[in-house]
Amino acid sequence: MQQSDKNKSHFGKDKIMKAVRQHEFGGPEVLIYEDAPVPELNKGVVCVKVKAIGLNPPDWYLRDGYKMLPPEWQPKVPFPIILGTDISGVIESVADDMKEFSVGDEVYSMVRFPSYGPSQAYAEYVNVPVSELALKPAGIDHIHAAGAPMSLLTAWQFMIEVGHDEQNPLQPNKHIPVPLEGKTVLINGAGGGVGHFAVQIAKWKGARVIAVASGRQEELVRELGADEFIDYTKTNADEILKDIDLVIDAVGGPKTGRFLKTLKPGGSLFPIFPLGFSDRDEAERLGVSVSATQVRSNGKQLAELATLLDQGIIRVVIDSTFPLAEARQSHERAARGHIQGKIVLTVDQ
């Protein structure tokens, strides 16, 4: 059936919006708040008038050119590019073939991840494929909704349901989440974006949760459900813990192997950022598994998670907010570290 005129795009080809673009790789100073063309609608997408944008590490990785990756994996992008994936907003217009959503719907999404460039979330308007879209949780505002998608989907796909069949190129085996009920779960980086969701998911699923974070985050992570807390600035968790069933290392990187000795035989280490891990022989010797996956956009999972967010079973912690025009300052805030929850950009249109 032909869609009504009210649901069709009213944007002309020369419609202009404000966006944060970069014309070269570099530090926060390359982020420029400027005019940019509003993206044109294609089949299977909706145009979202953005209210808030959640920041994630891939934003600054791409801004910098993914320098930590091998040269052959580093992105080749057509400048200028617009960073960002996580948005919450209101549907402005829909493609002619769209039936699942309507103009005026409040929605949230992680847009086209993983990809280099086409997500383009640091903008007043973003085109989103329908398969990556979900209705925004009614019980939270746009700022909190924008803080959820990538970090929450990452925790969910690592811990509950992968939701895709794409192979992680850094390991030969497919990632398989492990049952959490009755298990002892150590979460390193428990106060950060992924970590604070991992604490809540593990507790919700019936695990005993040991959280590792800085001392100033203790009150927060205990409120989120942690049974025990270790201040990493005072104590090395890997030197005092043992017989852990699962370690979620939300920090990851080359040092993640230090947690192998904390696991019981048959236990698992899930590094959220597995690049640099080189202790697979040691893991095999200890009888433990190391596994990771790559988070991918998934509107169906976001719809499921919206219920948990709406009911308050999972809450989004906001570290700080910045207007879109101050994206550079938001990246400078991220670079200072010690982030508690999520950094979010707001869009005042």
- Those residues whose C-beta lies under 8 Å from the C-beta of residue 36, and which sit 6 or more positions away, are 16, 17, 18, 19, 21, 80, 82, 123
The chain-wide mean pLDDT, for the chain, equals: 94
What average pLDDT does range 285-305 have in this prediction? Answer: 97
pLDDT score recorded for residue 69: 85
Among 171, 311, 172, 154, CA closest to 163: 154
201-243 pLDDT per residue, tens: 999 999 999 999 999 999 999 999 999 999 999 999 999 999 9
9-57 pLDDT per residue, tens: 445 457 999 999 999 999 999 999 999 999 999 899 999 999 999 999 9
pLDDT score recorded for residue 213: 97
Among 160, 164, 166, CA closest to 179: 160
Q: Which band of pLDDT confidence, cut at 50, 70 and 90, is reported for residue 165? A: very high
Full-model pTM = 0.94
Domain pair 18-66+75-150+296-346 / 167-290, same fold: no
pLDDT score recorded for residue 170: 85
Task: Please state the separation of Cα 91 from the chain's center in Å.
Answer: 22
What average pLDDT does range 72-91 have in this prediction? Answer: 93
Q: Where are the beta strands (DSSP E) in 252-310?
A: 263-271, 289-290
- The fold adopted by the segment(s) 167-290 is Rossmann fold (3.40.50)
**Total count of residues recorded for the chain:** 349
* 18-66+75-150+296-346 CATH pick, 1.10.760.10, 3.40.630.190, 2.40.50.140, 3.90.180.10: 3.90.180.10
pLDDT score recorded for residue 14: 74
Handedness of CA 340, 228, 253, 294 (dihedral sign): negative
pLDDT: which is higher, 315 or 116: 315
Among the listed ranges 18-27, 62-71, 139-148, 204-213, which one has the minimum average pLDDT value?
62-71
- Secondary structure of residue 191 in the 3-state scheme: coil
Q: Which band of pLDDT confidence, cut at 50, 70 and 90, is reported for residue 116? A: low
The answer to whether the beta carbons of residues 238 and 214 sit under 8 Å apart is: no
The answer to whether the beta carbons of residues 108 and 145 sit under 8 Å apart is: yes
pLDDT score recorded for residue 225: 98
Percent of the chain with pLDDT strictly greater than 90: 86
pLDDT score recorded for residue 68: 86
CA distances from 284 to 91, 158, 235 (A): 50, 21, 27
175-207 pLDDT per residue, tens: 999 999 999 999 999 999 999 999 999 999 999
| DSSP letters spanning 42-83 | -TTEEEEEEEEEE--HHHHHHHTT-TTS-GGGS----SSEE-
Residue 264 and residue 312: Cα distance in Å, rounded? 33
- Domain map (residue ranges) of the chain: 18-66+75-150+296-346, 167-290
Among 69, 104, 70, CA closest to 90: 104
Among the listed ranges 97-101, 218-222, 258-262, which one has the minimum average pLDDT value?
97-101
